[in-house]
Chain A
């Protein structure tokens, strides 16, 4: 049957979420001739609808349904109802993302082996290795048009990058360049090249930056095998007496509840909504939620050890011109415990426009110390720290005891506290960032606290053994054979790298596995 599919069609694969994981999986399956329905909670905005305005764009794309927070992270104080900055729209957070696309390092797949048992953590080795994922990384890089791979040239460096590079040279860093970006440096895949507009976080109006919205999804739709249903919020995954999942209950664009039957269900709602959905799908057979015999659903929430450093110079930088993430330093990404922490971090340029800078430079700050910084906006350069944070059992997504969403389902609470390793790493990175900018003449430097999480990981983690995690090395749940997890919540550990290339690689690999198992009729 050709898309659109009937609600009673129980031969389809239903994917929840159309972002990096879900959008990719949907297209990959459709290309193999498998029928797919993607349920997406958000609306469909095409790239010409995007706007070069930070708050307007946030209102258009971001997930603003209420969530609550707890734990000692500063986000819980400054943004108590906005733990994460992610998207509710067709394309998911790949509309907002900056495009940095890095492979994990070999040792990061074996975090427990390399870092040892770090007190207070739930570190574990991934059930897959870099070598196993490499062919899929290569496919993902080709699909996404990642610069400095597949013979694709790097992007030209903007002003913010030039300041970073000058500082990196002064500090003796060796690996500093304009990054591996899923942004076209020349026309490719029927998409144009980057025009250096500087609104990557607001959705690329040129389509130069890869997003499932205008790559995977239309490609899948073209096969006639993929149907994307926007404004369709999945609420519960249903199962039969044997424990196999049978369909997804969702609210459609008109607010009506529908049940889409399914042969297979893949959850890709990002690391807060995915565990929330599994937990909200509890039943008498699965009283703790689906796929949760281990009790690990929602646990080990990771968000990367982040922070920013902004420097003020005597002369103009205009950091907001050109790509938001315009370059990277990789020297600190190595695992080197002599620095006082395990794992490593990347330093990547970052720029915010004036409205977001006012909101995020020092949330809650006021007075001249704050405003004199903004007065120097034009003379600012900035970088973002992204490092491996430690998985901890109690950093977790739980269902709120009292508060419910407009459909009557409990909302998510996000509990997060830094591990001492996270703090040691962030402090080290702040010092390096400060030294870097001072080496090029910064007169003032700001160690800026983490923003609401853009990288959300780990809450349905992969594990070799069923008791340690939620899914196996294919993202298939340990408990239920035809239930998959296809987003960043599968991550066993976070690595130092931005996660999306790995999410996409895992989705391509998962599609191969699902197709093979479907053919073998095991699912």
Chain B
């Protein structure tokens, strides 16, 4: 196995860092690899983010479906300063759920297929402008598929402790003695 990326390993509960995955540079370069937009690369059952060292393996959903889910997650809750891997973590549980529950699998696969169909040639992920993708989402926002994905993201995305600092939220404070000596009343601009 060839190590493709050798950067700092991601946090434990983030998707598998690429070096752990059974995947070679050759795999990546050979014909079966599709490039999705500019960000995600799919190879076999894996989604690779070539620029930042993480990848995600799917076992029950099609990898293309997972890649589109990640884009969908970002389109629902777009934060330009939040890297893709957090969106990937948020939607990753659907792969396991799809394995346990055929209904979930069907809903997700069909939901994504519907987005692709509405988008036409190139599929949902091929639409370069967010506005074009949003035009599609506004048409499906009342479907159980959309509402399930959106609802799941509320905790799936925002309850990841690793993203809190990216919003400036400091999280747990008891172990640090609260804020009594750490700026609870330090506002200066008023």
A residues bordering B, Cβ < 8 Å?
A: 52-53, 55, 156-159, 162-163, 166, 194-199, 205-206, 313-318, 320-322, 353-355, 358-359, 364, 366-368, 370-371, 374-375, 377-378, 440
Q: Give the Cβ gap from B71 to chain A, nearest Cβ, in Å.
A: 14
A196 touches B184 (CB 8 A): yes
Known: A53-B172, A158-B185. A355 touches B79 (CB 8 A): no
Contact of B187 among A156, A163, A314 (CB under 8 A): A163
Measured between beta carbons, the chain A residues less than 8 angstroms from B158 are 354-355, 358-359, 374
Measured between beta carbons, the chain B residues less than 8 angstroms from A353 are 169, 171
Q: Is B177 an interface residue (CB 8 A)?
A: yes
Measured between beta carbons, the chain B residues less than 8 angstroms from A354 are 158, 164, 167, 169
Chain A: CB-nearest residue to B149: A366
Q: Give the Cβ gap from B78 to chain A, nearest Cβ, in Å.
A: 5
Known: A195-B178, A205-B174, A440-B190. A321 touches B184 (CB 8 A): yes
B168 touches A196 (CB 8 A): no
Q: Give the Cβ gap from A402 to chain B, nearest Cβ, in Å.
A: 22
Measured in the bound complex, the distance between the Cα atoms of B185 and A194 in whole Å is 14
Known: A195-B177, A195-B178. A159 touches B159 (CB 8 A): no
Q: Give the Cβ gap from B93 to chain A, nearest Cβ, in Å.
A: 15
Measured between beta carbons, the chain A residues less than 8 angstroms from B134 are 367
A198 touches B178 (CB 8 A): yes
Measured between beta carbons, the chain B residues less than 8 angstroms from A205 are 174
B173 touches A52 (CB 8 A): yes
Chain A: CB-nearest residue to B76: A366
B173 touches A370 (CB 8 A): no
A-B CB proximity, top 8 nearest: A195-B178, A378-B168, A322-B184, A197-B178, A358-B158, A354-B169, A52-B172, A321-B179
13 interchain pairs, CB-CB under 8 A: A156-B184, A156-B185, A157-B185, A159-B185, A162-B187, A197-B179, A198-B184, A321-B173, A321-B183, A322-B185, A367-B76, A367-B134, A374-B158
B179 touches A322 (CB 8 A): yes
Chain A: CB-nearest residue to B175: A52
Q: 19 new A-B pairs (CB below 8 Å) besides A162-B187, A355-B159, A374-B158?
A: A52-B172, A52-B174, A159-B184, A162-B185, A194-B180, A196-B184, A197-B179, A315-B189, A321-B170, A322-B185, A354-B164, A358-B154, A358-B157, A359-B158, A366-B77, A367-B78, A378-B167, A378-B168, A378-B169
Measured in the bound complex, the distance between the Cα atoms of B81 and A203 in whole Å is 32
- Point out which of B158, B164, B182 has the most chain A C-beta atoms below 10 A from its C-beta: B158
Measured between beta carbons, the chain A residues less than 8 angstroms from B187 are 159, 162-163, 316-318
Measured in the bound complex, the distance between the Cα atoms of B184 and A194 in whole Å is 12
Measured between beta carbons, the chain B residues less than 8 angstroms from A53 are 171-172
Q: Is B143 an interface residue (CB 8 A)?
A: no
B173 touches A374 (CB 8 A): no
Measured between beta carbons, the chain B residues less than 8 angstroms from A358 are 154, 157-158
Q: Give the Cβ gap from A213 to chain B, nearest Cβ, in Å.
A: 17
Chain B: CB-nearest residue to A377: B167
Q: Give the Cβ gap from A53 to chain B, nearest Cβ, in Å.
A: 7
B174 touches A199 (CB 8 A): yes
Measured in the bound complex, the distance between the Cα atoms of B185 and A195 in whole Å is 12
Measured in the bound complex, the distance between the Cα atoms of B177 and A99 in whole Å is 20
Chain A: CB-nearest residue to B176: A197
Q: Give the Cβ gap from A49 to chain B, nearest Cβ, in Å.
A: 12
Q: Give the Cβ gap from B156 to chain A, nearest Cβ, in Å.
A: 10
Measured in the bound complex, the distance between the Cα atoms of B35 and A153 in whole Å is 64
Known: A55-B155, A157-B185, A159-B185. A166 touches B190 (CB 8 A): yes
Q: Give the Cβ gap from B69 to chain A, nearest Cβ, in Å.
A: 15
Measured between beta carbons, the chain A residues less than 8 angstroms from B170 are 318, 320-321
A355 touches B173 (CB 8 A): no
Q: Give the Cβ gap from A95 to chain B, nearest Cβ, in Å.
A: 15
A163 touches B180 (CB 8 A): no
